[in-house]
Amino acid sequence: MVIENKQLPKHVAIIMDGNRRWAKKRHLPSVFGHKKGYEVFKKVGDWCLDRSIKYLTVYAFSTENWQRSKKEVSYLFQLLQFALEKEIDDLNKKGVRFQVAGRINELPAKLQTAIKKAIDLTKHNAKAVFTLAVNYGGRAEITDAVSSLLEKYPRMKKITEKILGEFLYNPANPDPDLIIRTSGEQRLSGFLLWQSAYSELYFTPKLWPDFLEKDLDAALEEYANRKRRYGK
């Protein structure tokens, strides 16, 4: 399938849902689903680069995911740390800048260290930007933005969208053009609540570990066929 560049989204965001259900269907522990999901995630990054999609944001761990078992949460953090340490040199060689969105200071110290090293290593790259949303919640982001704004401007009487937007986790990122959610669920679950005001939403029944290149192209084709009016 060929899509003209002008019809491709500049920023794709993905809610990678269905790892645990994928494992359950196969009578496996949930960690196997997360491991398989990680393998798919690596491929998706390359697929987006191949299609000249400059911004990719993925939802890896929400502020609500702390409610899962300690064993699963611990494994997820270990997997994220492993992924960063293993993949960051490759990302750097490809010219991808890595950044995060979320309350990073609440994460395990070793994971925080890996995140900071990855950010520092890739901070001058400009070919593409990959954002990992970890310990992230849309309401938390807006709350943190308001708190940071009021801390800097305690006497401010009028807060505009533009000013508040400057205090979001990654204010330089454009709003996502397309948000993809796998597993058949049709909700945002707190993902990029501020930024998604006019995003196109695409839902697929595919569980994340089963997501293929043709599934990404199906989402991109659907996006290309939509008309974005922004309320006009």
Question: In 3-state terms, what secondary structure has residue 127?
Answer: coil
The pLDDT tens digits of the residues spanning 201-227 come to 999 999 999 999 999 999 999 999 998
| CB 130, CB 95: distance < 8 Å | no
Catalytic residue among 17, 19, 173, 215: 17
| Intervals of the chain under pLDDT 70 | 1-6
- Does the active-site annotation cover 65? yes
Distance (Å, whole) CA 223 – CA 110 = 39
Q: How many CB atoms lie within 10 A of CB 108?
A: 14
Q: Which residues contact 102 (CB under 8 A, 6 or more apart)?
A: 61, 63, 133, 134, 135, 136, 137, 140, 141, 169
Please tell me the predicted confidence (pLDDT) of residue 231.
76
Question: In 3-state terms, what secondary structure has residue 78?
Answer: helix
Catalytic residue among 5, 65, 144, 225: 65
| CB 77, CB 84: distance < 8 Å | no
| CB 7, CB 225: distance < 8 Å | no
User: Per-residue b/e over 64-93, b at no fewer than 16 CB within 10 Å?
Assistant: ebeeeeeeeeebbbebbbebbeebbeebbe
pTM: 0.94
Distance (Å, whole) CA 145 – CA 188 = 20
Please tell me the predicted confidence (pLDDT) of residue 229.
81
The pLDDT tens digits of the residues spanning 43-78 come to 999 999 999 999 999 999 999 999 999 999 999 999
- Does the active-site annotation cover 5? no
Whole-number average pLDDT of the chain: 95
Ramachandran angles phi, psi of 72, nearest 5°: -70, -45
Please tell me the predicted confidence (pLDDT) of residue 6.
62
Structure tokens at 227: 């008309």
Domains with residue ranges and CATH for the chain:
8-224 (3.40.1180.10)
